């Protein structure tokens, strides 16, 4: 995809030392299925009153500790704001988390590439439209898997 888009700019980091012993088994913290935002129902019991992570598709691959540091104890949905179709359905589902599932908090995890910000934008819009408010947090992840920023945001 040679479109000059920063989100698809190539980066080769094969020469960097990965550090960890790759043979250590890491336990999955996923406690639900499905997870894709088009497939989930906001009224599924695991969203009721939950702390929910709305994670951009690429994040869990970029981060080393996604399961233990972020997913543990939370409910999840994943989406890609750049390539997924029919995103108005996404907005409706996020609003339904706030209003119907009465979720406790929403944390949006996105990559630092500009187009990934669309997912946070969608969440903010849904919160602004919602009659019930909840704390909304944005976590931006770098291409190296490090957290660039973690902030509470207002809709």
Residues that bind ligand SF4 (CB under 6 A): 7, 56-58, 80-83, 111, 113, 115-116
Task: Please name the residue that has the structure tokens 């704390």.
Answer: 135
| Distance of alpha carbon 87 from alpha carbon 46, whole angstroms | 22
Give the H/E segment covering residue 16. none
Judge whether 107 and 55 are in contact, CB under 8 Å: no
Among 30, 51, 124, 130, binds other proteins (CB under 8 A): 51
Q: Point out which span in 36-44, 80-88, 99-107, 109-117 binds other proteins (CB under 8 A).
A: 99-107
| Distance of alpha carbon 93 from alpha carbon 28, whole angstroms | 25
| Distance of alpha carbon 84 from alpha carbon 25, whole angstroms | 32
**Cβ at position 107, least distance to other proteins in Å:** 7
Should residue 73 be labelled a site residue for other proteins when binding is judged by CB under 8 A? yes
Should residue 75 be labelled a site residue for other proteins when binding is judged by CB under 8 A? no
Q: SS3 helix, strand, coil % of the chain, rounded to 5? A: 30, 20, 50
Strands (E), the chain: 51-56, 75-79, 105-111, 136-141, 147-153
Q: Work out what residue 51 binds among other proteins, ligand SF4, none; the CB cut-off runs from 5 to 8 Å by kind.
A: other proteins
Should residue 16 be labelled a site residue for other proteins when binding is judged by CB under 8 A? no
**Cβ at position 125, least distance to other proteins in Å:** 17
Should residue 65 be labelled a site residue for other proteins when binding is judged by CB under 8 A? no
DSSP 132: S
Should residue 154 be labelled a site residue for other proteins when binding is judged by CB under 8 A? yes
Among 29, 87, 96, 105, binds other proteins (CB under 8 A): 105
What are the residues binding other proteins (CB under 8 A)? 51, 73, 103-105, 107, 133-137, 151-152, 154
């Amino acid at each position: 995809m040679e479109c000059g888009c920063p989100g698809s700019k190539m980066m080769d980091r094969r020469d960097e030392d990965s550090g960890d012993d790759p043979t250590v088994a890491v336990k999955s913290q996923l406690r639900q299925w499905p997870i894709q935002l088009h497939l989930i129902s906001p009224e599924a019991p695991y969203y009721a009153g939950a702390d929910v992570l709305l994670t951009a598709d690429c994040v869990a691959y970029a981060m080393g500790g996604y399961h233990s540091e972020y997913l543990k104890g939370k409910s999840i949905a994943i989406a890609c704001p750049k390539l997924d179709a029919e995103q108005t359905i996404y907005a409706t589902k996020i609003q339904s988390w706030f209003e119907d599932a009465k979720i406790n908090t929403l944390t949006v995890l996105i990559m630092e590439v500009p187009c990934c910000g669309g997912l946070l934008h969608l969440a903010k819009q849904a919160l602004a439209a919602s009659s019930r408010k909840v704390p909304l947090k944005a976590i931006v992840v770098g291409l190296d898997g490090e957290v660039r920023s973690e902030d509470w945001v207002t809709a």
